[in-house]
């Protein structure tokens, strides 16, 4: 799968390091790792603003769509239009839908059909794949 923003593994590592990303950010975003539940910086983060891809800065979610799913990862019921690419994930003996940043292909997490109204979706994201920008006061 091709994405508009392409970099080598070394370039992604350097970019994440320069941004001061969490140590797990490269493994999560470029190797589809998963952070441990209830450990991510955004799991219980409720400030008003926007969540972006840690790799390329593309805006992914608005804070108004974040909810406490009790699963241990930041969860949202709606992504911004065109922000997420969904692909089938059959790893670990499961059938899931993986979510990728539509701009750079970063692994973000998975989407499940057990979220709240109005969408019924739960975008279960890794905090290490996200960066937050506060809304202007």
Contacts of residue 68, defined as CB under 8 A and 6 or more positions apart, other chains included, come to 44, 75
CB 63 within 8 A of CB 49: yes
What's the CA gap between 25 and 126, in Å, rounded? 9
> Which one is catalytic: 55, 56, 101, 124?
124
| Chain centroid, CA 125 distance in Å | 4
Does the annotation count 101 as an active-site position? Answer: no
Residues carrying an active site annotation: 124
């Amino acid at each position: 799968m091709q994405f508009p923003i392409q970099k080598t593994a070394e370039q992604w590592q350097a970019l994440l390091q320069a941004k001061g990303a969490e140590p797990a950010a490269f493994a999560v975003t470029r190797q589809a790792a998963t952070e441990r539940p209830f450990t991510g910086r955004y799991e219980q983060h409720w400030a008003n603003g926007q969540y972006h891809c840690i790799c390329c800065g593309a805006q992914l979610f608005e804070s108004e769509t974040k909810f406490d799913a009790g699963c241990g990862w930041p969860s949202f019921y709606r992504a911004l239009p065109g922000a997420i690419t969904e692909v089938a994930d059959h790893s670990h003996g499961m059938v899931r839908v993986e979510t990728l940043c539509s701009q750079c292909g970063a692994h973000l997490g998975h989407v499940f059909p057990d979220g709240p109204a109005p969408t019924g979706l739960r975008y279960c994201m890794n905090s290490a794949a996200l960066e937050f920008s506060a809304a202007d006061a």
